[in-house]
């Protein structure tokens, strides 16, 4: 995982940092669904931020840079 994906996964509470390392969170099935929905929402919001100015080249660059795609 690249750094931005790690940050978003931690924000969604799928993972947590301890001593500078990222560890998976143990979640129930119900909490896991909520966390993955939040993770997807965070990614979509970030991509929408890149799209706001209408510059597709910038949007492509930022998606590749931050999401490794």
In this prediction the pTM is 0.79
Question: Measuring CA to CA, which residue among 2, 69, 11 is closest to residue 45?
Answer: 11
Q: Is the pLDDT of residue 49 over 90?
A: no
Give residue 66's pLDDT. 83
Q: Report H helices in the chain.
A: 3-11, 29-51, 56-67
Q: Sort strands 15-18 and 21-24 into parallel, antiparallel or unpaired.
A: antiparallel
- Over residues 21-37, the pLDDT tens digits come to 989 999 999 999 999 99
Domain regions of the chain by residue span: 3-67
Give residue 40's pLDDT. 94
Confidence of residue 58 (pLDDT cuts 50, 70, 90): confident
Residue 60 DSSP SS3: helix
Q: For all residues of the chain together, what is the average pLDDT?
A: 90
Q: Which residue has the tokens 């795609």?
A: 69
């Amino acid at each position: 995982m690249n750094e931005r994906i790690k940050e978003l996964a931690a924000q969604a509470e799928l993972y947590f940092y301890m001593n500078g390392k990222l560890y998976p969170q143990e979640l129930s099935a119900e909490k896991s669904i909520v966390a993955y929905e939040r993770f997807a929402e965070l990614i979509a919001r970030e991509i929408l931020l890149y799209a706001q100015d209408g510059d597709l080249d910038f949007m492509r660059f930022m998606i590749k840079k931050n999401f490794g795609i």
